[in-house]
């Protein structure tokens, strides 16, 4: 099916006869493959008698050489899959297989994309960026302090470079435009964080997605915000360069050097919020983050600090 899709990727009409000849199959076999493409990849295909078949919009596939040309200073090996369970899972498998970090895993589609707190990350084919960068961390826990917030800054800046000027941060791991989610971050760690470990920086960005029914929260995409389709290879290159810049600053000076910049770009700074931890809820006002990236809340006039992977932050109705 993917061979057929690559023949159609230019967005032009192709006759069933020409497609069949290129694939070495009958026109009826082409028709069956097209039905599978629409059903499995959720890609609308126009069918016009006398003209043939056309994708509703052209596709540009992820390409390691193109990414390298756009970001020549990045030396990370790039692994690209057409479809895998999740880029984070593949990254962890490559670590187990002895693949030397740093390296980058990308996919056109995820069958089991993951967000924080076990949520599913909806991953349609060739529309978004599913990105996992693996780093080898030496020197103990300080190298991990505030790391997910640092990644958020890099994602935000790459989105602004791509025309999404309203991109901003929500503690701990989201990038929003207004109240709509455009990107999420999921960090996973293997090894001994007090000695030598590997951390996977998992990033999902809604890029050219325009319609999907399976997302249970407000969302947007780069194309919806800018009005134009986006070259995902260019966005991946921009993201890599921003990550390189922010990770170098973080390694040299810790999160404390980026704390003020992060707070300046936090959408909910000073807002009344509810912090959810399982069945427990804490109401307060966001003061900012501390030097390790933990959330600072004013609760009944007293400053309290919260951190942890299972926390969820929501705006209060009276905010």
Q: Is 111 annotated as a binding residue?
A: no
**Tokens, residue 280:** 């427990």
d(CA 25, CA 195) in angstroms, rounded, equals 56
* Selected catalytic residue, list 116, 170, 232, 238: 116
* Mean pLDDT of all residues belonging to the chain: 90
Residues in Cβ contact with 119 at an 8 Å cutoff, skipping those fewer than 6 apart: none
Q: Is 116 annotated as a binding residue?
A: yes
Domain check: are 32 and 107 in the same one?
Answer: no
| Domain tally, the chain | 3
Q: Is 115 annotated as a binding residue?
A: yes
Q: Is 208 annotated as a binding residue?
A: no
Q: What CATH code is carried by the domain that includes residue 23?
A: 1.10.10.10
Domain check: are 274 and 258 in the same one?
Answer: no
Bridge partners (DSSP) listed for residue 54: 46
- What does the pLDDT average to over 264-292? 94
List the one residue out of 265, 124, 145, 148 whose CA is nearest residue 205.
124
The predicted-structure confidence for 130-156, as pLDDT tens digits, reads as follows: 999 999 998 767 788 999 999 999 999
Domain check: are 222 and 310 in the same one?
Answer: no
Query: Looking at the predicted structure, is the pLDDT value of residue 181 above 50?
Result: yes
Q: Which domain holds residue 45?
A: 2-55
Q: Is 245 annotated as a binding residue?
A: no
Domain check: are 140 and 28 in the same one?
Answer: no
d(CA 102, CA 104) in angstroms, rounded, equals 7
Domain check: are 210 and 306 in the same one?
Answer: no
Domain check: are 77 and 207 in the same one?
Answer: yes
Q: Which pLDDT score, from 0 to 100, does residue 2 have?
A: 76
Q: Which pLDDT score, from 0 to 100, does residue 3 have?
A: 85
Q: Which pLDDT score, from 0 to 100, does residue 112 have?
A: 79
Domain check: are 258 and 293 in the same one?
Answer: no
Examine the fold and report which residue of 239, 263, 287 is the final residue of a domain before the chain moves on: 263
Domain check: are 167 and 195 in the same one?
Answer: yes
List the one residue out of 221, 228, 37 whose CA is nearest residue 46.
37
Q: Which pLDDT score, from 0 to 100, does residue 116 have?
A: 53
Q: Is 271 annotated as a binding residue?
A: no
Active site residue 314: yes
d(CA 42, CA 7) in angstroms, rounded, equals 17
Q: What CATH code is carried by the domain that includes residue 295?
A: 2.30.30.100
* Selected catalytic residue, list 170, 181, 232, 238: 181
pTM equals 0.90
Tokens 């069956």 identify what position?
32
Examine the fold and report which residue of 55, 78, 97 is the final residue of a domain before the chain moves on: 55
Examine the fold and report which residue of 35, 55, 75 is the final residue of a domain before the chain moves on: 55
List the one residue out of 185, 170, 189 whose CA is nearest residue 267.
170
The predicted-structure confidence for 203-244, as pLDDT tens digits, reads as follows: 999 999 887 656 667 999 999 999 999 999 999 999 999 999
Domain check: are 151 and 259 in the same one?
Answer: yes
Higher confidence at residue 235 or residue 7? 235
Neighbours of 292 (CB within 10 A): 17
Q: Per mean pLDDT, which range of 120-124, 183-187, 255-259, 297-301 is the poorest?
A: 120-124
Q: Which pLDDT score, from 0 to 100, does residue 214 have?
A: 60
The predicted-structure confidence for 98-133, as pLDDT tens digits, reads as follows: 999 999 999 999 987 765 545 555 678 889 999 999
Domain check: are 183 and 200 in the same one?
Answer: yes
Q: Which pLDDT score, from 0 to 100, does residue 121 have?
A: 58
3-state secondary structure the chain: CHHHHHHHCCCCCECHHHHHHHHCCCHHHHHHHHHHHHHHHCCCEEEECCCEEEECCCCCCCCHHHHHHHCCCCCCCEEEEEEECCHHHHHHHHHHCCCCCCEEEEEEEECCCECHHHCECCCCCCCCEEEEEEEEEECCHHHHCCHHHHHHHHHHHHHHHCCCCCEEEECCCEEEECCEEEEEEEEEEEECCCCEEEEEEEEEECCCCCCCCCCCCCECCHHHHHCCCCCHHHHHHHHHHHHHHHHHHHHHHCHHHCHHHHHHCECCCCCEEEEEECCEEEEEEEEEECCCCCEEEEECCEEEEECCCCCEEEECCCC
The predicted-structure confidence for 54-84, as pLDDT tens digits, reads as follows: 888 788 899 999 999 999 999 899 999 998 9
Domain check: are 125 and 232 in the same one?
Answer: yes
* Selected catalytic residue, list 47, 120, 291, 314: 314
Q: Is 173 annotated as a binding residue?
A: no
List the one residue out of 175, 154, 165 whose CA is nearest residue 242.
154
- What does the pLDDT average to over 244-252? 95
Domain check: are 241 and 98 in the same one?
Answer: yes
Q: Is 15 annotated as a binding residue?
A: no
């Amino acid at each position: 099916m993917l061979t057929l899709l690559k023949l159609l990727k230019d967005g032009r009409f192709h006759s069933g006869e020409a497609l069949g000849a290129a694939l070495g199959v009958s026109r009826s076999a082409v028709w069956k493959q097209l039905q599978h493409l629409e059903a499995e990849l959720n890609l609308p295909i126009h069918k016009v008698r006398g003209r043939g078949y056309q994708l509703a919009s052209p596709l540009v596939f992820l390409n390691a050489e193109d990414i390298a040309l756009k970001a020549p200073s990045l030396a990370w090996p790039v692994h690209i899959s057409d479809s895998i369970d999740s880029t984070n899972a593949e990254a962890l498998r490559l670590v187990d297989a002895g693949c030397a970090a740093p390296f980058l895993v990308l996919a056109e589609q995820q069958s089991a994309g993951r967000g924080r707190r076990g949520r599913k990350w909806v991953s349609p084919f060739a529309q978004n960026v599913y990105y996992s960068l693996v780093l080898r961390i030496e020197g103990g826990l300080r190298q991990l302090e505030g790391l997910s917030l640092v990644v958020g800054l890099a994602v935000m800046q790459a989105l602004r470079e791509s025309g999404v000027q309203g991109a901003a941060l929500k503690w701990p791991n989201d990038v929003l435009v207004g109240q709509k989610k455009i990107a999420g971050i999921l960090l996973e760690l293997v090894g001994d964080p007090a000695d030598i470990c590997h951390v996977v920086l998992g990033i999902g960005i809604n890029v050219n997605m325009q319609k999907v029914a399976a997302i249970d929260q407000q969302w947007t995409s780069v194309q919806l915000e800018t009005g134009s389709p986006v070259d995902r290879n260019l966005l991946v290159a921009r993201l890599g360069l921003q990550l390189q810049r922010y990770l170098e600053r973080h390694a040299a000076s810790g999160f404390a050097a980026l704390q003020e910049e992060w707070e300046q770009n936090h959408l909910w700074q000073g807002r009344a919020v509810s912090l959810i931890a399982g069945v427990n809820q804490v109401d307060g006002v966001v003061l900012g983050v501390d030097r390790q990236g933990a959330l600072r809340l004013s609760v009944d006039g007293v400053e309290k600090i919260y951190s942890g992977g299972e926390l969820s932050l929501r705006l209060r109705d009276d905010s």
